[in-house]
Chains A and B, each alone.
Chain A
Amino acid sequence: MTSRVLDFLIEAFEGQEVGEIEPLRFFSFGGVRFKEDLVQFQESKFWALKRHNLLIFKSDEPEFEYYLFLNTLLEVAEHYFQIEELYTLSGTLSLIAHTSPRRILTVYNRKEWKRRLEGYGLEPMTWKGPPAISSYLLWVAKKRGIPGVSLWPEIPFYLASREDPEAIRVVLSFFNQRFRLGLELGWLEREKQEQEEKILDLRRENREIDDYICRLEKGLPLNEEEQVKLAREIDEHLGKRG
């Protein structure tokens, strides 16, 4: 989801690659990944969207020297680009139906920053436990005096291995509103409808899957076995026809 949002913004606003963090010290180099038959290599790049005064940082998660990595990222962003606000983006899997509205769960690193973003329909998160790297980044930003917010749009758990156009849409809508980007997002509405129709076909064919989704729509839980089955069936179905 994050990758799709950032790639879309870079493409839509003809983002220019303006720098990168070299991978040495931060990655293991124990081999190389490939995806859809294409070799992938660790990237940590900065992109400038000049028209809207935005800087995008898109990266693989480092494996070593997290603090140095996050400080380097903010050092570059502050020193060379004078950033004033920080937004991090990650999806969070949720026990909701794909037909339910997506909330954007949110973490702020300053109280006043939270007040400033009231009115955008963001949902404050509460959590105690192991931190994601975005929380770590938010904490380092706070130490450096940079106001920041982590956005965690909800994604139905059974769309984890596929795309969730609705989650992408709510995030881009937020950016649209916040930065007056003037983006036309009708195409995401269409993608969402297409996906819903495909899932509807499956619900008609398979009463059990329909029952699971109905229960989620009513806010009822599924046990682990049911969750696994729903995720597998949806993944196979969307893969088959998509």
Chain B
Amino acid sequence: MGVKIYHRPDLHHPIMFVGWPGIGNIGLIAVSTLKEILRARELGEIDPLHFFYPRKVVIEDGLLVDLEFPASRFYYQRVGEKDVLFFIGEEQPSDGGRMYARGEKAYQMANFVLDVASEFGCHRIYTSGACVSPIHHQMKPRVCAVATSSEVLQEVRRYSNTIVMSELGERREGEGVITGLNGLLLGVAKSRGMEGACLMGEIPDWLSGAAFPYPKASRSVLEVFAQILGIEIDLHLLDESERQIEEIVESFYAKFPKEMKEEYDQRKTILQIRPGTITIQAQIYIDEQYKKGSEEGGEAPS
């Protein structure tokens, strides 16, 4: 059990971007896409055996060829004058089949990630996730921020299309919970004297239970990442997946009855404070195949 580091590059106060799966995989897609765009190199990994059940077995002609575990990998790259670390976890460690990490293993994994960050002199961590909001799907998702200190919060507020949680509708007190490791990591970081922020792309509330990703919000998060790094990034990598998801979402929207559509469309012009009944009604229009939890696992022969 532990961390394997393959290279020891000389990094100067790197910042770290971290992503795990979550609602709409907004954070995971944002961090993975940034890693791809910057062509970050693999640095190391966390041994999966202690954390995960294997997700795939490959059996060919009676021979057990491979057993694949969810990967938890570190990457690094230099961007201009900045050194950047990445951590991408394909799954959150959880006991009992929960989607989000909790308990001892979650805490251990958070500490493993931060151990590596510390080892390379990193003091600033950015995680990402979803902010479930009563927004219209045709609106550009904003990026909602929570930080470990008021200084970091002030810094994050300066980025365009970014708001802090207390400015967001029903969360006027800036209270809430960031479920799973995208949240926990920041808590553990704070307790270890590190600073950071969680940048959450908005997803319409009625889509938060859907099984498909929401790259439109990942794009918003990536635009903030680019501001943090002080670079321009070409996000065409997201174009195709964004188009496909838009098509699915628009097909649901097209099925809304006229009155419901009118009420929902008010979201474009009037700030919504609470989800309201429209959210529940709209969720009904998501087909069974796109709802989370419909897949069943299990081994079977071919």
Contacts and interface: CB of A to CB of B under 8 A. Distances in A.
Interface of A: 28, 63-64, 66-68, 92-94, 105-109, 111, 114, 122-132, 135-136, 138-139, 142, 152
Contact of A124 (B53, B56, B61): B61
Nearest to A133: B53
A129 B56 contact: yes
Contact of A105 (B56, B297, B301): B301
The prevalent SS among residues of B at the interface is loop
Contacts of B96: 28, 63-64
B62 A127 contact: no
A124 B63 CA distance: 8
Interface residues of B, number: 23
A93 B57 CA distance: 18
Contacts of B55: 130-131
A11 B233 CA distance: 70
Contacts, number: 91
A108 B59 CA distance: 9
B270 interface: no
B61 A130 contact: no
B57 A106 contact: no
B243 interface: no
A132 B299 contact: yes
B300 interface: yes
B297 A114 contact: no
The prevalent SS among residues of A at the interface is mixed
A106 B299 contact: no
B56 A128 contact: yes
B50 interface: yes
Interface in B38-77: 49-50, 53-64, 67
Given A67-B50, A92-B301, A127-B299, A107 B62 contact: yes
B96 to A, nearest CB: 6
B59 A114 contact: no
B63 A128 contact: no
Interface string B275-290: 0000000000000000
Contact of A107 (B49, B53, B64, B95): B64
Contact of A108 (B53, B54, B62, B67): B62
Given A127-B299, A132-B299, A109 B57 contact: no
Nearest to B298: A130
B242 to A, nearest CB: 29
A130 B54 CA distance: 8
A126 B62 CA distance: 6
Contacts of B191: none
- The 8 tightest CB contacts between A and B, nearest first, are A124-B62, A131-B57, A130-B297, A132-B299, A139-B67, A135-B57, A127-B59, A67-B49
B95 A130 contact: no
A25 to B, nearest CB: 10
21 contacts: A64-B95, A67-B50, A93-B300, A94-B301, A105-B301, A107-B64, A114-B63, A123-B62, A124-B61, A127-B57, A127-B300, A129-B57, A130-B56, A130-B298, A135-B299, A136-B53, A136-B54, A136-B57, A136-B67, A139-B54, A152-B301
B302 interface: yes
A124 to B, nearest CB: 3
A151 B278 CA distance: 52
A63 B95 contact: yes
Contacts of B50: 67-68
B299 A131 contact: yes
Nearest to B97: A63
Nearest to B65: A128
B299 to A, nearest CB: 4
A67 B59 CA distance: 20
A28 B96 CA distance: 8
Nearest to B63: A108
Contacts of B61: 124, 126
